[in-house]
Structure 1
């Protein structure tokens, strides 16, 4: 069930899983640190660490929808708020984070984004 926290839409496991499996237009981005991502992440979800997003914010397309994932939902919430402060309105937070993820995970360096243009090559 969708709710809101600090002006940010919160989505739960079922909603995120449904979005991922439906090939929806949302860009789901893991914002944890590199080491956390390599240990285990949602398959096909790219990594852009929170620590790098600040420097890249102007490269994101403002009219695209974004959902952010982290370990517990707190860092991803902060990233979503940062996007909103920078004029990117269509954002959401996966409120449970990887702690709540109940499906398959992958390990390794499968989808680490080094250039924002690579994000949009779906």
Structure 2
């Protein structure tokens, strides 16, 4: 189990969920220039610093997967959303480990 009970999902598991059409909110917490360099097609960009101000854009009924470059920022974001009562998971390894296609 991850420290402080932060839920984790592997990039492969997320890829399978998206391919299966499962309802999941993919939130990319990187900065705009990182996003523009390539992101998961189904993801929504909410940079980490903006997350507290934009949390109302998320649906509490739908699982949230948080993504960043390597997994550190998304870990913090996952912890934050879990404390607010979201079903949130951190994609371990971040975009560095993403096996699927990306779009710029």
Higher Rg of the two aligned structures = 1
Q: Mapping of 1:100-119 within 5 angstroms?
A: 100-107=97-104
Q: What pairs with 1:27-46 in structure 2 (closer than 5 Å)?
A: 27-46=25-44
User: TM-score, with normalisation over the residues of structure 2?
Assistant: 0.89
TM normalised by structure 1 equals 0.77
Structure 1 position 94 matched with structure 2 position 91: yes
Aligned residues: 104
CA displacement, residues 75-96 of structure 1 (integer Å, 9 cap, x when unaligned): 11100111122222x1101011
Higher helix residue share: 2
Larger RCO (alpha carbons 8 Å, 6+ apart):
2
Q: Which structure 1 segments of 5+ residues have no match?
A: 108-122
* Structure 1 runs of 4+ with >6 Å offset: none
Q: Decide which of 78, 81, 91 is 1:80's aligned counterpart.
A: 78
Structure 2 residue matching 1:62: 3-state secondary structure: coil
- Work out whether residues 57 and 86 of structure 1, in 8 Å CA contact, stay in contact via their aligned partners in 2: no
Contact 1:13/1:100, CA 8 A, preserved across alignment: yes
The answer to whether the 8 Å contact 1:84/1:91 transfers is yes
Unpaired runs of 5+ residues, structure 2, are none
